[in-house]
Amino acid sequence: QDSGKYKGMIEDCCCDYESVDSVNGEVLHPLLQELVTTPFFRYFKAKLWCDCPFWPDDGMCRLRDCSVCECPENEFPEPFKKPFRRGLSADDLMCQEGKPQAAVDRTLDSRAFRGWIETDNPWTNDDETDNGELTYVNLLLNPERYTGYAGSSARRIWDAVYSENCPKYASGEICQEKKVLYKLISGLHSSISIHIAADYLLDESTNKWGQNLELMYDRVLRYPDRVRNLYFTFLFVLRAMTKAADYLEQAEYDTGNNTEDLKTQSLVRQLLYNPKLQAACPLPFDEAKLWQGQSGPELKQQIQKQFRNISALMDCVGCEKCRLWGKLQVLGLGTALKILFSVDGQNQPSESPQLQRNEVIALVNLLNRLSESVKYVREQGPSIEKIMERQ
């Protein structure tokens, strides 16, 4: 297949487009697709009813495709359930938005996720140790796709993200670190747009879903920069995963289902110590090059604060499902930043900071989303561009 205009080394990374495309298609994408369906990785804990610190609620939550199905207790694997709660009604199986009976079993963490510590992430706004008001969401039932969330509410979030926190760097910008933050956000934005266009409500009256090629082209493909930033973000997160390989390999993936948990562990191992990945792209991103100058520590603090603002902005996303994926993916990026640029900077190159279960779930699901987007752009991009450019 033709890799189109994306050839040679990926800017600011250590691998080329062709190798990344081939290792993603052959190895990473299939492994990640399987990994995110395992019980450990498919439940994400999020605070969905959060007050936006910047603007009043704009009521966008009422859009039908915006709502999130929380997990009724009976959906969890055996050990997650409360022993005294039996005889669930059919209602329990339905979308539980806003119902008190959808309340989360908060003892679940201590029983089912043994071995995971509670620790805050300095790169994100949410206090990850605060378990109040958290909701478990089955990500497989709430795919990231078109929701109808648009207009001024969506626009002001992206505007705030870009203009307040990571203004597009002027060409020739010398501060590599600021450039990295911009590219991470832009790459994530590309990936979100690709998922919206790939799974779009084409006809509301017949509820027909499918690809919206025009949208894909207009929002991402016609801007080579946005595609490049997507690859950059993918490699950045991949590097964080491989840097934390030893930590992730030894982590507990215990959900009480032995067969599934062994599969999870094996998939994690296959992903992290993959010979094809090591041959194709041994160092996806070289974090050692950053924060080297005199102002390094100060700059790191400044960028950390900016990223925390971006994380806080996710509480203002007026559509619940978009907020869920926004929060998950920003936490995933925050986890990658934490792994690569650990707070105290004392880490040895091969060491990883302590991670929370939710951070690891966010990291893996983010990597999967980015891997899907990269695969999509690689396989469909050139033909979509041809169709659109002919019109």
Contact residues: ligand FAD, CB under 6 A: 144, 146-147, 149-150, 154-155, 157-158, 186, 189-190, 192-193, 196, 219, 226, 314, 317, 321-322, 325-326
**Cα(78)–Cα(39) distance, integer angstroms:** 11
Q: If we measure between CA atoms, which residue out of 326, 376, 63, 385 comes closest to residue 194?
A: 376
CB of 45 to ligand FAD, least distance (A): 18
CB of 331 to ligand FAD, least distance (A): 12
When computed from its CA atoms, the radius of gyration of the chain, rounded to whole angstroms, is 20
Handedness of CA 348, 351, 354, 357 (dihedral sign): positive
The smaller minimum CB distance to ligand FAD, of residues 23 and 235, is found at: 235
Which residue shows structure tokens 């016609």? 222
**Cα(377)–Cα(223) distance, integer angstroms:** 12
**Cα(124)–Cα(112) distance, integer angstroms:** 25
The smaller minimum CB distance to ligand FAD, of residues 65 and 118, is found at: 65
**Inter-CA distances, 208 with 199, 212, 230, 337, Å:** 10, 12, 28, 39
**Cα(380)–Cα(66) distance, integer angstroms:** 27
CB of 249 to ligand FAD, least distance (A): 31
The distance in angstroms from the start CA to the end CA of the chain is 23
- Beta carbons within 10 angstroms of residue 166's beta carbon: 22
The smaller minimum CB distance to ligand FAD, of residues 190 and 255, is found at: 190
The smaller minimum CB distance to ligand FAD, of residues 116 and 123, is found at: 123
Q: How many residues does the chain have?
A: 391
Which residue shows structure tokens 């960028």? 303
Residue type present at position 342: S
The smaller minimum CB distance to ligand FAD, of residues 121 and 265, is found at: 121
CB of 53 to ligand FAD, least distance (A): 15
**Cα(345)–Cα(34) distance, integer angstroms:** 34
CB of 120 to ligand FAD, least distance (A): 22
Residue type present at position 361: I
The smaller minimum CB distance to ligand FAD, of residues 52 and 343, is found at: 52
CB of 76 to ligand FAD, least distance (A): 25
CB of 136 to ligand FAD, least distance (A): 19
**Cα(364)–Cα(32) distance, integer angstroms:** 8
The smaller minimum CB distance to ligand FAD, of residues 158 and 273, is found at: 158
**Cα(248)–Cα(75) distance, integer angstroms:** 26
CB of 327 to ligand FAD, least distance (A): 8
The smaller minimum CB distance to ligand FAD, of residues 73 and 144, is found at: 144
